[in-house]
A and B are shown apart, each in its own frame.
Chain A
Amino acid sequence: MNENLISIAYLAASAAFILALKWMSSVPTARRGVAIGAIGMALAIGGTLLSPEIVSYRNIAIALVLGTMLGVPMAMMPMTAVPQRTALSHAFGALAAALVGTAEYSLRYQTIDRITMFALTIEVLLGFLTFSASLMAFGKLQEILPQRPITYGGQNIVNLAVLGVALLLGGVLVASPQQTMLFPIMAILAFTFGIMLIVPIGGADMPTVIALLNSYAGLAAAAMGFALDNKLLIIAGSLDGASGLILSIIMCKAMNRSFTNVLFGAFGQVQAGPAGKVEAKPVKSATSEEAASILANANLVVVIPGYGMAVAQAQHKVRELHDVLMKKGARVVFAIHPVAGRMPGHMNVLLAEADVPYDRLLEMEDANRELPEADVALVIGANDVTNPAARHDKSSPVYGMPIIDVDKAHVVMVIKRSMNPGFAGIDNELYTMDKTLMLFGDAKAVVGDLVKEIGAAE
């Protein structure tokens, strides 16, 4: 009786997860998507608790309460912290898979068949490497660790060697699961590889890497499904795996780079460059009064936000600017590059939090159609995604990357803390163009000044 109930609950949960992702595709249905996803999870947990395998509920109750108590505050983090929160929850998910795999192995290694052992090995390898890699990503995003990539000679060879040995041990374990000594060594190697994988990755590559870790965490859950012969786990895990894969492909395309290049290319190293050859070209800086008077007379303003807006927490001020320009009769839109920020969709969430209506948030292609008509392109804390060198300078590391055509607007304004180059460490020729005005200062303060000046001009 219970068996049937459990099967039906699992089947319904699988359908719920698929619907959740389907409804997530557009804003009007997204709330429904989250709700049905939560119902699916409740069905999965409820069904599992009916299982005759469970002999005691005491420990389960303690763990569920503890998890809930820790999970709720994690949901209350500010939106600017969403990238690191996401990295941290990938770490939790991966650790759960790795620990379940380890526990299964400790119980069943004497009688386990090869297929199950193969699935368990994948689960544990993916689990531990995603766990440590996600913790590293969290550390970099939270700025506990340096965001600049750290590289050394032979790094890729060392990394691949560690992975190779871990895989080799995994293979031996599949062939003879009784070699219990090898299991912890394999787990430690996978954990070590996860750390080493993220060491050379810079802040600008975080959107791709987070998406990739999202995919791995899902695949670890799917591998658990193979090991436990549970179709619900396979379905939920592979949906997650597919989602992370698509997002990382989108991110790679948006940077004109390949997976191998992101993982092993250490983008964002400081470019040594031909020293002394490039003479510092003069930049034009403007005061907020000058900038405000130009903005106040504009009909179309395109705002290009980047990670700098998130760092300065300027999104609410940016929204005030949007409001006061709208009141002056201008059309204000936001051009969102797919890799702006530190995770896919980061800028959209921040601006939505600040109450900017979502029909003002344009994708790159749509924004580029409007930019030649724009009176002002206002760049707030974005850099590499606006660099015109991507279109014509074959020697530039950003060459070929799709960019927002900021330079086609009539006037370009760039809010920037200093002339330091962006995360890719590349000079941006946008800053030295004749029509570019630099507004130096903290994004929040500068935008605040602009709002005040424009408001006062009425």
Chain B
Amino acid sequence: MNHAPDLLSSLYVFLLATFVGLEVIKRVSPLLHTPLMSLTNAISAIAIVGALLITGHEETTLSTVLGMVAVVCSMINVTGGYLITFRMVKMFKRKASEK
């Protein structure tokens, strides 16, 4: 059970982050639900961290290829996700004239 301390602190982090997430997201205006979803989608492209490590480590051909595909998939969400969210958010204007 030498992993217990790590698991426990990971569970604490998971618990706290989930509660922070619930509290923060509850306050998001329904106006912005679509950009919110595309922003969280971009943030969950954080899987790129694991993908980069596997790819760069180059242990076996299989792991490197799987890692590369995962990097491509995540990077699509990183660039695509942030760009489209920014595009959406920019469209919301208080007055029609300020274009």
B75 in contact with A233 (CB, 8 Å): no
In whole angstroms, how far apart are the Cα atoms of A60 and B65 in the complex? 11
Cβ–Cβ contact A86 & B10, under 8 A = no
For residue A1, CB closer than 8 A to chain B, the reply is no
Chain A residue at smallest Cβ distance from B48: A45
CA distance A77 to B85 in the complex (A): 12
Give CA–CA (A75, B88) in the complex, Å. Answer: 10
Query: Would you call A115 and B29 a contact (CB within 8 A)?
Result: no
| A225 contacts B by Cβ under 8 Å | yes
Residues in chain A near residue B17, CB distance under 8 A: 234-235, 238-239, 242
CA distance A220 to B41 in the complex (A): 12
Q: Is A44 an interface residue (CB 8 A)?
A: yes
Q: Mark A49-62, 1 if CB is under 8 A from B, else 0.
A: 10101111101101
CB contact under 8 A between A344 and B43, given known A48-B52, A229-B6, A230-B49? no
Bound complex: CA of A34 vs CA of B78, how far in Å? 12
- Nearest-neighbour CB distance to chain B for A222, whole angstroms, equals 6
Q: Are A246 and B26 in contact (CB under 8 A)?
A: yes
Known contacts A34-B86, A234-B14, A343-B34; A18 and B47 CB within 8 A of each other = no
Residues in chain B near residue A210, CB distance under 8 A:
37
Q: Which residues on B sit within 8 Å (CB–CB) of A57?
A: 56
Q: Is the interface of A mostly helix, strand, loop or mixed?
A: helix
Shortest B2–chain A CB gap in Å is 8
Binds B, one of A19-27, A294-302, A405-413: A19-27
Q: Are B36 and A66 in contact (CB under 8 A)?
A: no
Complex contact A236–B44 (CB within 8 A):
yes
Which of A106, A240, A338, A353 makes the CB contact (< 8 A) with B40? A240
Would you call A243 and B36 a contact (CB within 8 A)?
yes
**CB contact between A64 and one of B50, B75, B77, B80 (< 8 Å): that residue:** B75
Is A99 part of the contact surface with B, judged by Cβ < 8 Å?
yes
Assuming A21-B25, A54-B53, A75-B80, is B45 touching A338 (CB within 8 A)?
Answer: no
* B50–A100 touching, CB < 8 Å: yes
Task: Say yes or no for A150: interface residue by CB 8 A criterion.
Answer: no
Chain B residues closer than 8 Å to A241, beta-carbon distance: 18, 21
Q: Which of A136-144, A161-169, A211-219, A432-440 is the interface stretch?
A: A211-219
Taking a contact as CB atoms under 8 Å apart, the answer to whether B54 and A103 are in contact is yes
Over the window 41-70 of chain B, the binary record of Cβ atoms lying under 8 Å from chain A Cβ atoms (1 yes, 0 no) is 111111111111111111110111011111
Q: How far is the CB of B54 from chain A (nearest CB, A)?
A: 5
Task: Tell me the complex Cα distance, A88–B86, Å.
Answer: 18
**Are the C-beta atoms of A345 and B71 separated by less than 8 Å?**
no
Give the interface centre of B34, B38, B60 by most chain A CB atoms within 10 Å.
B34
Counting contact residues on chain A (CB < 8 A from B), the size range is: 35 or more
Task: For A361, list chain B residues within 8 Å (CB).
Answer: 31
A352 at the interface (CB under 8 A from B): yes
Asked if A335 lies at the interface with its beta carbon under 8 angstroms from chain B, I say no
A74 within 8 A of B: yes
CB pair A93 B94 closer than 8 Å = no
Residue A327 is within 8 A (CB to CB) of chain B in the complex: no
- Contact at B79–A72, with CB atoms within 8 Å? yes
Q: Determine the residue in chain A with the shortest Cβ distance to B34.
A: A345
B27 touches A99 (CB 8 A): no
Let me know if A41 and B78 touch, CB within 8 A. Answer: yes
Residues of chain A within 8 A of B85, CB atoms compared: 34, 37
Distance from A333 Cβ to chain B, minimum over Cβ atoms (Å): 13
- A64 and B76 form a contact (CB under 8 A): no
**Minimum CB–CB distance for A137 against chain B, Å:** 13
- Minimum C-beta distance from B37 to chain A (A): 6
Residues on A with beta carbons closer than 8 Å to the beta carbon of B21: 21, 238-243
Ordered nearest first, which 3 A-B pairs have the shortest CB separation? A67-B75, A242-B21, A54-B56
Binding site for B on A (CB under 8 A): 17-18, 20-22, 24-27, 30-31, 33-35, 37-38, 40-41, 44-45, 48-49, 51, 53-57, 59-60, 62-64, 66-68, 70-72, 74-77, 79, 82, 85-86, 89-90, 92-93, 95-97, 99-100, 102-104, 106-107, 113, 115-116, 210-211, 214, 217-218, 220-222, 224-226, 228-247, 250, 323, 336, 338, 343-346, 348-349, 352-353, 355-359, 361, 363
Residue contacts A-B, CB under 8 angstroms, 26 given: A17-B43, A27-B92, A33-B39, A34-B89, A41-B82, A48-B48, A48-B53, A63-B55, A71-B76, A74-B76, A76-B83, A85-B84, A93-B47, A93-B74, A99-B70, A100-B50, A100-B54, A231-B10, A237-B44, A238-B21, A240-B21, A242-B19, A246-B26, A348-B34, A349-B35, A355-B99
Given contacts A93-B44, A113-B3, A243-B37, 5 further A-B contacts (CB under 8 A): A22-B24, A63-B69, A100-B51, A211-B37, A225-B14
- B-to-A contact residues, CB < 8 Å: 3, 6-7, 9-10, 13-14, 17-22, 24-60, 62-64, 66-96, 99
